Chain A
């Protein structure tokens, strides 16, 4: 047997090389996001208003959305942005091409930005737990109930082509953030939440690349 060992070893090595090994390779690759919208086709972006379901007292959600996202559209799409408030009766109007075609201000391709929005503020109570480390620390926080102000921004955003009235992008966003400051102002909270929406919104519009995982097969 000892005499045959090298040969046996070689045979096993060859078998292992043939039959074993990985069958795939995991790669991380930057892939563009799919976009049905071609931003370069538009000369003007018109904020035509949002159906506002709820907004904090004294806070004009429509105005804030147009101001915040208007400047972002202007910067990223390099086109003129205007505000033209339209009377929106219900969400069904987003799917009425004739309605949007009739609004077209003239020649030049227009992209309408509309949808439904809601900014809510609520006070929530939370129970503070104590960890093992807290138990040994005399200055650690005490167990008890604390209050937080929670702001939530829900945005159903529709981008509509002016020439055809067709919806080119229809997306829902919901962002929330809790604040320890019970008197947190709505405009500050809106700014933070809108920033999160912005990142997600422009990715598909501009086909921005995003790191993703894929598997390549080796055999």
Chain B
């Protein structure tokens, strides 16, 4: 591979990254910040971050799903349901959202909540 070809590949890649990533990093940061907050039991902060993401990108499956988990933590069942449904509407095949929603419903329905959470889809180790 000649130097020129390699330089062209690198430049093309960097160009693509710049174009596609201009809006991306900020949203990704907010998602990550929310997760950090959730990890530290700062669920109000997490909600604030994920709501911010949705204000910029209402199609963010991650924000809808994560917000649903936060609402569950706060005992806001109807809000959690709405967010799970929104996430599933955007990504009906997403196994993690599906599993979260299933566990959420198990928690809501009396008599079923004592059953153990179903095995997760193949988890990455």
Chain A residues with Cβ below 8 Å from B117 are 212-213
Complex CA–CA separation, A22 to B69 (angstroms): 18
Query: Which one of A24-32, A46-54, A79-87, A127-135 is at the interface?
Result: A24-32
Complex CA–CA separation, A7 to B9 (angstroms): 11
**A216→B9 contact, CB < 8 A:** no
Grouping DSSP codes into helix (H, G, I), strand (E, B) and loop, the B interface class, with mixed when no group exceeds half, is helix
Complex CA–CA separation, A34 to B31 (angstroms): 27
Q: Is A204 part of the contact surface with B, judged by Cβ < 8 Å?
A: yes
User: Count the A residues whose beta carbon is within 8 Å of the partner chain — how many?
Assistant: 36
Given contacts A34-B107, A200-B114, A204-B113, contact A217 B72 (CB under 8 A): no
Complex CA–CA separation, A8 to B9 (angstroms): 10
Given contacts A217-B61, A217-B96, A218-B31, contact A7 B120 (CB under 8 A): no
**A218→B35 contact, CB < 8 A:** yes
Complex CA–CA separation, A4 to B6 (angstroms): 8
Contact of B103 (CB < 8 Å), options: A7, A15, A27, A214: A214
Given contacts A26-B120, A218-B35, contact A32 B110 (CB under 8 A): no
Complex CA–CA separation, A47 to B87 (angstroms): 44
Q: Is A182 part of the contact surface with B, judged by Cβ < 8 Å?
A: no
**B28→A219 contact, CB < 8 A:** yes
Chain A residues with Cβ below 8 Å from B110 are 34, 169-171, 204
Chain A residues with Cβ below 8 Å from B38 are 27, 29, 216
Q: Is A188 part of the contact surface with B, judged by Cβ < 8 Å?
A: no
Chain A residues with Cβ below 8 Å from B93 are none
**A11→B13 contact, CB < 8 A:** yes
**A213→B111 contact, CB < 8 A:** no
Q: Is A1 part of the contact surface with B, judged by Cβ < 8 Å?
A: yes
19 sample A-B contacts, Cβ–Cβ < 8 Å, listed by A number = A7-B10, A8-B1, A11-B9, A26-B120, A26-B123, A27-B39, A27-B69, A33-B107, A33-B113, A34-B108, A34-B113, A169-B110, A170-B110, A204-B110, A214-B69, A215-B97, A219-B28, A219-B31, A219-B62
With A8-B1, A29-B73 known, 18 other A-B pairs at CB within 8 A are A1-B1, A7-B10, A11-B9, A14-B17, A25-B35, A29-B38, A31-B72, A31-B73, A34-B107, A171-B110, A203-B113, A214-B103, A215-B65, A216-B65, A217-B62, A217-B65, A218-B62, A219-B62
Residues of A within 8 A of B (CB): 1, 4, 7-8, 11, 14-15, 18, 22-27, 29, 31-34, 169-172, 200, 203-204, 207, 210, 212-219
